Chain A
Amino acid sequence: GAVVSQHPSWVICKSGTSVKIECRSLDFQATTMFWYRQFPKQSLMLMATSNEGSKATYEQGVEKDKFLINHASLTLSTLTVTSAHPEDSSFYICSASWEGPYEQYFGPGTRLTVT
């Protein structure tokens, strides 16, 4: 149980374009979903927390207009990287939880490369 999927698993896009990443909880209803970014050889950095039906809470330093998060249902959250730049190239991972922030279950991640 507690399976989280992400799509796509990897994407290459050109500078200035937008990319949407989907995160789905497959066998449970996720009241809370989290989006992380991880640069090579670094730890995960929490970008934002989203609860179904409400606006996401962004961490300090994360531009909410650049990283658009939508948590439309209890099983789906999306992250849209708008006007992507090469420095946005990273590993984006979502996680989901059904009991607040504890015991998060992670998706397999999306590797984004912006050329």
Chain B
Amino acid sequence: RKEVEQDPGPFNVPEGATVAFNCTYSNSASQSFFWYRQDCRKEPKLLMSVYSSGNEDGRFTAQLNRASQYISLLIRDSKLSDSATYLCVVYSSASKIIFGSGTRLSIRP
């Protein structure tokens, strides 16, 4: 079992839709969690941190479920520009960083 797993997608949804995807992690001692987005052939860019209490940034909401060991990302009112690959990042410890393989999201007009 991979330490961090994501549904590779692609998720193909119409503009304006709400879409959500999860990322599961196997190490219950994992400390910190982040979502990054990566456009094709570009570097990842930090989207948001994931806090225990959940956090929201505009149309994006991130949640952490420690009991079930997953984090989620919800995108509301999706825009064409949201099309990208979304990577979850899990820090098992301060020195062990693991990237998920990414979930591809495609927003259609």
A binding-site residues for B, Cβ under 8 Å = 34, 36, 42-46, 49, 57, 91, 93, 100-109, 111
Could you tell me the distance in whole angstroms from the C-beta of A91 to the nearest C-beta in chain B? 8
**Contact in complex: A104, B87 (CB < 8 Å):** no
B40-48, B57-65, B68-76: which lies at the A interface? B40-48
Excluding A43-B102, A44-B99, A101-B94, 13 further A-B contacts by CB distance (< 8 Å) are: A43-B99, A43-B101, A44-B44, A45-B99, A93-B44, A100-B94, A102-B91, A103-B46, A103-B49, A105-B46, A106-B45, A107-B43, A109-B41
- Is residue B34 contacting chain A, with contact meaning CB distance below 8 A? yes
B binding-site residues for A, Cβ under 8 Å = 32, 34, 41-46, 49, 87, 91, 94-95, 97-102
Could you tell me the distance in whole angstroms from the C-beta of A57 to the nearest C-beta in chain B? 7
**Contact in complex: A101, B95 (CB < 8 Å):** yes
**Contact in complex: B34, A43 (CB < 8 Å):** no
Q: Roughly how many angstroms separate A46 CA and B91 CA in the complex, as a whole number?
A: 12
Could you tell me the distance in whole angstroms from the C-beta of A2 to the nearest C-beta in chain B? 9
**Contact in complex: B94, A42 (CB < 8 Å):** no
Could you tell me the distance in whole angstroms from the C-beta of B55 to the nearest C-beta in chain A? 14
B43's contact among A43, A46, A106, by CB below 8 Å, is which? A106
